[in-house]
Amino acid sequence: MNQVGSNTLVDRYQIEQEIGNGGFGVTFLAKDTRMPSERKVVIKKLKPINQSNVDYEIIKNSFQKEAAVLEELGRNHPNIPELYDYFEDEGEFYLVQEYIEGKTLAEISPISQERTFSILTSLLRTLQYIQDKNLIHRDIKPENIIIRSSDGLPVLIDFGAVKDSMGKVRRSSGSVISSVIIGTRGFMSPEQSVGRPTFSSDLYSLGFTMIYALTDKLPVEFEPHPQTGELDWKKYIPNLDPTLEKVLDKAIQDDRSHRYATADEMYQYLHSSQPKKSIKPTEIIANNVDYNSTPPPPTPPLPTTVIDPTPPINTANFNVPETKKQGNLKTASLVVLGGITVLGVAISSYWLTDMITELKAEIDSNNQTITQLEDTVKEKDGQIEQLENELKNANSKTAEITQELTKTKSNLGELSNNLAATQGQLSQAQKTIKDFQDSERIAARYDSSRSSVSSRPDVSWKPQCGSPNNGEKVWWAVKTDGYNLSLVKNNYCGDAMIYSRGETQVASFTSKYEAESFAKMLNAHSGEPFWIRESVRQ
């Protein structure tokens, strides 16, 4: 039996501290007491969303299947954490994974363009490996990429498939569906927000993740262009590399047909105009990692033979006559030249063989991708096309409303006598924009079968929270821990910020009662602690 309260699981894993808490469960840092080294491990405790006996058996079978897939991924790829163990006890499911020492991409951003290019290259190779297994990550974001301290390479964590298994239910028709949407607001593509992720959905998330690495800004912090609706992120990066700009711009297109189909296609575009750089063997692994410098490139997919150079021979202790020594040098030179010629032929033959093998693998991969795309096209029906048209119309209406909002702001000076009415119009316009941008609410409008009952209070995301500033001196601020900034900005209040004491300031109210009510509502919705603090403005 698990003893979480006594900090021990299955008489083996000793919990050291809690390192994460979300809607699907809790994450702990622990040590494996049965291993001689008592190695550190990460334990994820997952809790099913649906508690009926029928759904529980479906969830259990799905969890075991997805855990087996996760085990295979981690065992065969160095940039995916290994799965050491998984088990179920008293209605809760546990994953025991490799502990990756390092910092997340969210912690080290912003970084240089060179560093971003290197990290993106490595992640695309990792994603291509995942896509070759016909799998989709579904939750790529800065917090789920750890830059490993030992070699500076990015490690992809927290796959969404296992969390998705916690929401499996059986419909009255007998079919099994998922009652939850996996992903993070802002980094999640439109098709993923309605439960239809594809390979390009991961590339959409990866594109915004790399933009965050360059700018240290979330997608919701970029203003849309008033005519096209596209997010203007490039103005925050001086001297932006043209290739990087084009690749990232294409990756974050709302229409998936305008994005890259696979990670390998995005990789080829990224490197189509980049000069090749020779790498010394000693550059592959770095003991001390500088997170703002360019890391060593990822290990190539094909094996590389490294020939150690012959150490120099110390001739200081040899007593050889000068003429004889010169003759020996000539003979040695001929031998060395002959050896180099043979070695060059051997290396060239080995290189050509590897190149042919790699080309064949790429052709097979491209053929498989074409087959998958053809199957996807055949499976499209009228409902998908209608939904995509609705999403395009929503983007168009959002651009129109943004134009109206800009006109309203330009006329504020002339409408000072009607300030109250203008503020009401701005609030309504902002609410309308939010409604169209809230992909989950759009999805619920056209796919009622995915709706689920929740006992938590309804808290919707707003660009600004709290009372308007009317000159009051006494305010009540709603606060939470600093590490909850991304949670609050992505799900509740877009204007949240890190304030003094390292706390996240969510919103300010002139009424203590409103502040307390808002804090209790956020606590009930997220499970995170929220509190209020009085402040007096001079």
Annotated binding residues for ATP: 45
Catalytic residue among 32, 55, 139, 254: 139
Q: Name beta bridge partners: 15.
A: 30
Which among 81, 79, 53 is positioned nearest to 67, based on CA atoms?
A: 81
Mode of pairing for the β-strands spanning 504-509 and 168-170:
unpaired
Known binding-site positions: 45
Q: How far apart are the first and last CA of the chain?
A: 58
Alpha-carbon torsion, ordered 285, 287, 290, 296, to 10 deg: 0
How far, CA to CA in Å, does 164 sit from each of 44, 129, 188, 291? Answer: 14, 21, 15, 32
**DSSP 8-state symbol, 149:** T
CA separation for the pair 395, 387 (Å, rounded): 13
Contact present, 178 and 316 (Cβ < 8 Å): no
C-alpha to C-alpha distance for 269 and 485, rounded to whole angstroms: 34
CA 187 to chain centre: 8
Can 249 be counted among the known catalytic residues?
no
> Residue 497 forms beta bridges with which residues?
505
**DSSP three-state, residue 95:** strand
Task: Locate 447 and state its tokens.
Answer: 């796919």
Strand partners, 466: 508
Q: Which residues of 215-236 are buried (b: 16+ CB within 10 A; e: fewer)?
A: beebbebbebebeebebebbee
- Listed residue (6, 4, 145, 18) closest to 481, CA to CA: 18
Residue 227 neighbours by CB under 8 Å, 6+ apart: 399, 403
Rounded Cα gap, residues 91 and 45, in angstroms:
11
Q: Could you tell me how many residues make up the chain?
A: 538
Distance of alpha carbon 188 from alpha carbon 193, whole angstroms = 6
Instruction: Give residue 158's region: left, alpha or beta (phi > 0; psi -120 to 50).
Output: left
The residues assigned a catalytic role are 139
